[in-house]
Amino acid sequence: MARVKGGLMAQKRRRNILSQVKGYRFGRSKKKREAREAIFHAQLHAFAHRKDRKNDFRQLWITRINAALQTHDLKYSRFIKALKDKNITLDRKVLATLAKDRPEAFTKVVEAIK
């Protein structure tokens, strides 16, 4: 049998890997073995950090709601408890958007729980 050299397919494989690490520094952007390892680690972190982003946004919404409530002499925890008691089902994302972009609507929500 004739000897098969890995020329074309190896080049394609290498090109595919190196195209994924554009912008990486040093050997990670030039060497196939280092690039493969960098891709592996990057994908692990990307998965974990997609989960973290949800928590980051929730913290941001809570901070915005709390800041808006200070003008109404309320605290966040008491506000959320009052919302639950009155069966007002607005989530934190909506409340934060109201507090930031539509303060008059947020004021109506606050008055509804008092």
User: What global pTM score does this model have?
Assistant: 0.70
pLDDT higher than 80, residue 1? no
Give 35-85 pLDDT, tens digit per residue: 999 999 999 999 999 999 999 999 999 999 999 999 999 999 999 999 999
| Residue 91, C-beta contacts closer than 8 angstroms, at least 6 positions apart | none
Give 80-94 pLDDT, tens digit per residue: 999 999 999 999 999
Q: Is 87 exposed, middle or buried (0-12, 13-18, 19+ CB in 10 A)?
A: exposed
The single residue listed with the structure tokens 């008055």 is 111
**Domains of the chain as residue ranges with CATH:** 7-113 (1.10.1900.20)
What amino acid is encoded at 103 in this protein?
P
pLDDT of residue 2: 80
User: Structure tokens of 51?
Assistant: 């989960």
